[in-house]
Chain A
């Protein structure tokens, strides 16, 4: 049995650590690239969203590398994602791959169900080993996220554009290589120090733009054309509510236990959207309401034909809390120039708004 799994941002790193520690035979498909996308587009029904197509591409590439057991999240009550594993299994079978799909149910497999699943995959490893491998994986994820948060601050302020990205790429591979808690800790402090030492513009007062929307396109830079770096180059500080670690923690572990940090966001959305519409639609509305004072603008990312985000997109312009929102739809047709033009126009608008506000405050009206 050889396990393969799809990509979403950096999520492969903790899983890799988990599999390595449990001596599970696995392959990681190449990170998302043009070939992955064209494999997905070619074999997927046309009306599906970009996450489906990229994930399908990943799964095909993993199967080509010899994986026969494919891990994919699924389950009840989470937009059409719950149906993806079923369809992808049929597509792969029709392509002639002899594979088994294993669904990680986000809502029905509680924490223990999931640990049990891992136990099954690891050929009955002892529980102690599973839990410690798990903890280590989560630790890697947390390390990555704490580094990324610093990167987001450095990007708009650095004098030589691109330095932070370079350090971040090195940090990712260093975290991937780390094999003990000690090295992980060292890696974290080393790279955060490196980032803090980057030459920065001391005068910079960057605009603050929140990024909200559907989780896959938020976390997978290939699908959003690395929008965060582009915004950084335009001198904008990016804030993002969803980090991979939080998502893993909350969707996979704490949510089933009833602890839910998202409740605050949901409460903010209540006057405009009373119930969960699946996916991340509720959160998108909530983040707009919640952060309307502290951000200059919000960029709302959604895959094309994503139903929950369409609902959010329709509701957002009609909230009392007024903050500019730019919706960018991600699909296989998206181009860098097109996106950059829209980002530049949006940033110009926000700058003008800030200038006007400042002037008004100075003249005291």
Chain B
């Protein structure tokens, strides 16, 4: 059986269930790289120039982990997932960059995902991708439709039940994910709630964010993330803050940030990677909004490969202390 490798990094958290379905429908076996470790990050960073951002270094480490494990590696070039939005260069250059810095990698299956250039192009891309596995166009079509259905189910599962991507992936595919991420019934009480905003590849990669969700839950905080919101809620928050989305994954930052600053979270923590182009702008928009509102606390954590765990813990403790104090004062005022 043909083995297709999917690196557990970047877009994995958004699309893994649907990619898995697509390739399995076409009769391929899907191999995923193990969760990020120090070795994966170190090997990835060794291949690229130092200025490259952390998520890409992690991604390349995962590709290296898959090199001997599979016949193909799937790396799509995602330009836009809705009309007239634009994506970070790293997603566009990812297939070619991987090829350049990891010459020993198995053949890369790349395809352009660019909704702005029309659905026809997308269908052609899916068809060409499927041709690596079968000559039967209707089979490719079936696989594509099944993958789309799984994607919708996956999104729905997260927003309706308040599951984080790793939990939802576990439910849908039965692959056990690393365990400490546990969410409680988040909508029951938006009290003592901290919203984490940022891209899934930063929020749910426990190695690079130093288990931030686990640590906040240990401090008795309820965690909410962008995936808990419906796309309508995210969009209206974007419209309010910047008018129209420019970036493909803007809703994870500006959308969720705008929403949680407005609606009842006690604190918002933005997580971004050092040197991230889109986030350096989007986080600033959220930060300015928080400054204007002066009701919800906001903190931005910048991650890079040198981030010391102790530094992250100190900042988290200071932030939760601040929120606890604020809530205590509010309670006293009420009495």
Q: Which of A80, A90, A315 contacts B100 (CB 8 A)?
A: A315
Contact A314:B246 (CB < 8 A) given known A276-B92, A329-B51? no
CB atoms of A315 and B276 under 8 A apart: no
With both chains docked as a complex, state the minimum distance between the C-beta of B274 and any C-beta of chain A, in angstroms: 7
Measured in the bound complex, the distance between the Cα atoms of B277 and A327 in whole Å is 19
With both chains docked as a complex, state the minimum distance between the C-beta of B170 and any C-beta of chain A, in angstroms: 33
Q: Which of B84, B92, B243, B284 contacts A277 (CB 8 A)?
A: B92
Whether A181 sits at the interface, judged by CB under 8 Å, is: no
B residues 131-183 touching A (CB-CB < 8 Å): none
B residues 11-54 touching A (CB-CB < 8 Å): 48-49, 51-53
CB atoms of B101 and A307 under 8 A apart: no
Query: Which residues of chain B have C-beta atoms less than 8 A from A308's C-beta?
Result: 89, 93
CB atoms of A314 and B84 under 8 A apart: no
CB atoms of B95 and A274 under 8 A apart: yes
With both chains docked as a complex, state the minimum distance between the C-beta of B320 and any C-beta of chain A, in angstroms: 25
With both chains docked as a complex, state the minimum distance between the C-beta of A109 and any C-beta of chain B, in angstroms: 14
With both chains docked as a complex, state the minimum distance between the C-beta of A311 and any C-beta of chain B, in angstroms: 4
Whether A313 sits at the interface, judged by CB under 8 Å, is: yes
**Closest chain A residue to B84, Cβ basis:** A76
CB atoms of A80 and B49 under 8 A apart: no
Query: Which residues of chain A have C-beta atoms less than 8 A from B259's C-beta?
Result: none
Query: What is A's interface to B at a CB cutoff of 8 Å?
Result: 45-48, 76-77, 79-80, 82-84, 86-87, 90-91, 94, 272-279, 281, 304-308, 310-311, 313-315, 318, 327, 329
Contact A281:B93 (CB < 8 A) given known A80-B278, A314-B48? yes
Q: Which of B92, B112, B275, B288 contacts A278 (CB 8 A)?
A: B92
Whether B90 sits at the interface, judged by CB under 8 Å, is: yes
Q: Which of B95, B280, B288 contacts A305 (CB 8 A)?
A: B280
Query: Which residues of chain B have C-beta atoms less than 8 A from A310's C-beta?
Result: 49, 51-53, 89-90
Whether B298 sits at the interface, judged by CB under 8 Å, is: no
CB atoms of A277 and B48 under 8 A apart: no
Query: What is B's interface to A at a CB cutoff of 8 Å?
Result: 48-49, 51-53, 77, 79, 84-86, 88-90, 92-93, 95-97, 100-101, 103, 110, 112, 242-243, 246-247, 274-281, 283-285, 288, 291, 302
CB atoms of B280 and A277 under 8 A apart: no
Query: Which residues of chain B have C-beta atoms less than 8 A from A305's C-beta?
Result: 51, 275, 277, 280
Q: Which of B52, B100, B276 contacts A272 (CB 8 A)?
A: B100
Q: Which of A82, A275, A304, A329 contacts B77 (CB 8 A)?
A: A275
CB atoms of A311 and B95 under 8 A apart: no
Contact A83:B92 (CB < 8 A) given known A275-B77, A310-B49? no
Measured in the bound complex, the distance between the Cα atoms of B51 and A311 in whole Å is 10
With both chains docked as a complex, state the minimum distance between the C-beta of A95 and any C-beta of chain B, in angstroms: 11
Interface centre among B51, B53, B242, B285 (most CB of A within 10 A): B51
Contact A273:B93 (CB < 8 A) given known A80-B278, A305-B275? yes
Contact A90:B288 (CB < 8 A) given known A305-B51, A310-B51? yes
CB atoms of A87 and B97 under 8 A apart: no
Q: Which of A82, A306, A313 contacts B86 (CB 8 A)?
A: A82
**Closest chain A residue to B289, Cβ basis:** A90
With both chains docked as a complex, state the minimum distance between the C-beta of B235 and any C-beta of chain A, in angstroms: 17
CB atoms of A274 and B96 under 8 A apart: yes
Q: Which of B85, B89, B112 contacts A281 (CB 8 A)?
A: B89
CB atoms of B275 and A318 under 8 A apart: no
Measured in the bound complex, the distance between the Cα atoms of B243 and A351 in whole Å is 54
Query: Which residues of chain A have C-beta atoms less than 8 A from B288's C-beta?
Result: 90-91, 94
